Structure 1
Amino acid sequence: MIQPAANSYKQNQVDTSSPEELTLMLYGGAITFLKKSKQAISDKNMNKAHQFITRVQDIIDELIITLDRKYPIAAQLLALYEYLKRRLIEANISKDVAILDEVEGFLMEFRDTWKQAITLARSQRG
């Protein structure tokens, strides 16, 4: 009963969010799955760790797809996203938490910077 309500809330949140907010949600989701993958490795549950790392890879793919290539920074972000994907593959093969920590650090920086950009853009509009 609670799960369908939570899923409905999440879907509504996605449906009513701006593209900028959706990107922020992607970063947040990736960070959440990285934390879960590290916990799964700690718990010696390698199948779960694999599933969570794969979810992060899927999110990185979505970030790549949604890059607006008309801006010069997109090429730099693309290179960074591709680097993170390679690191996630390495982490998934070796179940190396240090690599996951590295990827998490990048994603936290991206999230925090994106959050600041949204705030700045809103303050300039309003």
Structure 2
Amino acid sequence: MQYANAYQESKRYAIESLSKGEVVIKLFEEAEKQVKMGIILIEKESFAKAYNCIAKAQKIITSLNLSLDMQYPISIELNQMYSFIFEKLGEANSSRDIQLLRSLLALIVDLKDSFKEAEKISSPSKSRGL
């Protein structure tokens, strides 16, 4: 039991030490993982598990959307993008549309990569290991 508590504590500390940009990247990585798992599970006809994975991805997208600071023009665009992804994930989930899920996965990966690049630019000393 002590090991489980130590693991949870170290995991909590690792998350708390991340920058806001790094947290956003981690959320995109988790959404990507959930959509990939959803695709695999649909292909294996494990529909209930696939549904849950895609629903988790929707929750992550909602969290990202709720974290936006709407005083910036980019936030308005991201809000529209996140709303679109959320809606289409729901559509793909109910229809078990693997092709739509793959398209959404590509969009999620593109957004993740964009945020990774922005994080590198915003903290150049960190990316060089300084």
TM-score calculated relative to the size of structure 1: 0.90
C-alpha distance in structure 2 between counterparts of 1:31 and 1:9, whole Å: 24
Q: CA deviation at 1:12?
A: 2.8
Aligned position for 1:121 = 122
Map 1:75-86 to 2 at 5 A: 75-86=76-87
C-alpha distance in structure 2 between counterparts of 1:99 and 1:122, whole Å: 35
- SS at 2:21's partner residue? helix
Q: CA deviation at 1:17?
A: 1.0
Q: Which runs of 5 or more residues in structure 2 are unaligned?
A: none
Q: CA deviation at 1:117?
A: 0.5
Aligned position for 1:64 = 65
Aligned position for 1:50 = 51
C-alpha distance in structure 1 between counterparts of 2:99 and 2:110, whole Å: 17
| 1:10-62 deviation digits (Å, cap 9, x = unpaired) | 33321221111100100000000011101110110000000000000000000
CA RMSD of aligned residues (A): 2.1
C-alpha distance in structure 1 between counterparts of 2:20 and 2:107, whole Å: 21
Q: CA deviation at 1:122?
A: 1.1
Give the fraction of aligned pairs with identical amino acids, expressed as a percent: 25
C-alpha distance in structure 2 between counterparts of 1:56 and 1:8, whole Å: 25
| 1:50-77 deviation digits (Å, cap 9, x = unpaired) | 0000000000000011111111011111
Equivalent residue letter for 2:17: T
C-alpha distance in structure 2 between counterparts of 1:43 and 1:19, whole Å: 36
| 1:65-93 deviation digits (Å, cap 9, x = unpaired) | 11111110111110111111110111111
* Structure 1 segments of 4+ aligned residues over 6 angstroms from their partners: 1-5
Per mean C-alpha deviation after superposition, the further-off stretch among 41-50 and 10-19 is 10-19
C-alpha distance in structure 1 between counterparts of 2:3 and 2:40, whole Å: 24
Q: Which runs of 5 or more residues in structure 1 are unaligned?
A: none
